[in-house]
Chain A
Amino acid sequence: MTGQTESPLIEIAGLTKRFGAFTAVDDVSFKVARGEVLGFLGPNGAGKSTTMRMLAGFMTPTAGRASICGHDVQADAVAARKMLGFLPEGAPTYPEMTVLSFLKFVARIRGYSGGELADRVDHAIGLTTLAGVRMQPVETLSKGFKRRVGLAQALLHDPPVLVLDEPTDGLDPNQKHEVRTLIARMAPSKAIVISTHILEEVDAVCSRAIVIANGRVVADATPAELAKRHPSGKLDDVFRALTQPKAA
């Protein structure tokens, strides 16, 4: 492995977010090095998206800090965001824009122009197999295509850090497979965080998994280690045991 001496590309320390009396994310800390694909697991409402929003610098943490490639996401926001490809929850895009004009807009903001801009956009369209719909307004696309437009936008500048909030949500099994293959292919050169509640996805692409429940990290291990925590050896059972209130 080459990642031994390099400092982690993502560092989160004591990240906390409170909304009034409700604590959505409670003292979450982890690091992700180059070559790692971190699966971020948890039930709905556990704080996955909130953590990712703080990591992307969109939401201001109540306490703690996050940095991307050594740039603090709050104090040095623009530098951190240059290193980041972010797919927000629900993959929002401007509905009236065509796929091509939307990706061109993102490429311009990312500082590309001329031939390089066209190359970047073509490359991103190729990676996410959007060539057939490039001239269509985003609002006319199916959920799976919209998700891929969001993904194309995040991959466009080949960032060292990728934060993808539910990248395969709404995709059919073939598309899910494509996206997972794509993530696996990019993995060696990047630090990747994906949130999901599909456990097979963790087995398929993640080198490490963090389980979060009620805003707290309840497990941080490789998928194989995690599976051993339950006699059945199934991630499903481990997930349920970790995230359900201890009533039964």
Chain B
Amino acid sequence: MRNTLIVARRELGGYFATPVAVVFIVIFLALQGVLTFNLGNFFDRNQADLAPFFNFIPWVFLLLVPAITMRLWAEERRLGTIELLLTLPITQAQAVVGKFLAAWAFCAIALLLTFPFVITVNILGRPDNGVIATGYLGSLLVAGSFLSIGAALSALTKNQVIAFVLAVAVCFIFAVASYPLVTDFLSRNAPVLADVARRLSVAERFQSFTRGVISLRDLIFFASFIGFWLFLNTVIVEHRKAD
């Protein structure tokens, strides 16, 4: 655990030592603002909640989270620092989890900085702050899911662009898995898979959090989803580290 946190701390420090952190946070906040207030009709709806804000979260993360994860391992491999990191007395799992936690903490910081939305809606009306809190928890879990996908795919390549594109593509699959576009197609051709797709949909699980519902099933889903990708990440690092 100690080693994991040391790795995480170094990694998180790295974001703030470069313009990555500022650029990411500014773009994230600007994008969320524009989408919530303009496309989401935050004011015209005349309702004291953050539904428009949370509706866009998975889509904004779909685009921005791979931008964080693309460098996680690809950069280490390109610079050769992976050779340094993995010959220090730590296990590969500690390195994988440490890097993931750093990226997750970074997303949490970005999410925390959206607090003016919460203040705004509380000034304008009387929102159910419990629902807002579960919405944030769901957002964090969606971020974690996309991060775990992106981190694992980043270990496949030295090229950050490839890591980014792959991560967006795979995250997109899990974001739209429950959409009629996918499920209709599957139920016509492979009915068994339609149900599986719905169950694996990150966006669908997120919806219940935005309605204020925290179910054990969803929590277990996110935990196993992230756990699966981190496991895959460790396997990929093991097999591809020296290539």
Contacts and interface: CB of A to CB of B under 8 A. Distances in A.
Interface of A: 53, 56-60, 77-79, 81-82, 84, 86, 88-90, 92-97, 101, 105-106, 108-111, 137, 150, 153
A53 B90 contact: no
A58 B242 contact: yes
Contacts of B84: 86, 88, 92-93, 150, 153
Nearest to A111: B89
Nearest to A137: B17
Nearest to B238: A60
A81 B17 contact: no
Contacts of A90: 80
Interface in B80-100: 80-81, 83-84, 86-91
Given A53-B83, A150-B84, 19 more contacts: A58-B83, A60-B242, A81-B87, A81-B88, A86-B84, A88-B84, A88-B87, A89-B80, A92-B83, A92-B84, A93-B84, A94-B79, A96-B14, A97-B10, A97-B17, A105-B6, A106-B88, A108-B6, A109-B89
Interface in B1-44: 3, 6-7, 10, 13-14, 17-18
A79 B89 CA distance: 7
B99 to A, nearest CB: 13
B14 A86 contact: no
Given A58-B242, A97-B14, A110 B89 contact: yes
A159 B90 CA distance: 16
A78 B90 contact: yes
A39 B119 CA distance: 66
Interface size class on chain B is: 20 to 34
Contacts of A111: 89
B89 A78 contact: yes
Contacts of B10: 94, 97, 105
B80 A92 contact: yes
Contacts of A110: 88-89
Given A58-B241, A58-B242, A109 B83 contact: no
B87 A56 contact: yes
Contacts of A108: 6
30 contacts: A53-B242, A56-B87, A57-B87, A58-B83, A58-B86, A58-B87, A58-B241, A58-B242, A59-B242, A81-B87, A81-B89, A84-B87, A86-B84, A88-B80, A88-B83, A88-B84, A89-B80, A93-B84, A95-B79, A96-B14, A96-B18, A97-B17, A108-B6, A109-B3, A109-B6, A109-B7, A109-B88, A111-B89, A137-B17, A150-B84
A150 B241 CA distance: 20
Nearest to B239: A60
A92 to B, nearest CB: 4
Given A53-B242, A108-B6, A92 B79 contact: yes
Contacts of A94: 10, 14, 79, 81
B37 to A, nearest CB: 35
A84 B80 CA distance: 18
Interface in B82-140: 83-84, 86-91
Nearest to B11: A94
A109 B87 CA distance: 11
A137 B6 CA distance: 19
A69 to B, nearest CB: 13
A86 B87 contact: yes
B10 to A, nearest CB: 5
Contacts of A97: 10, 13-14, 17
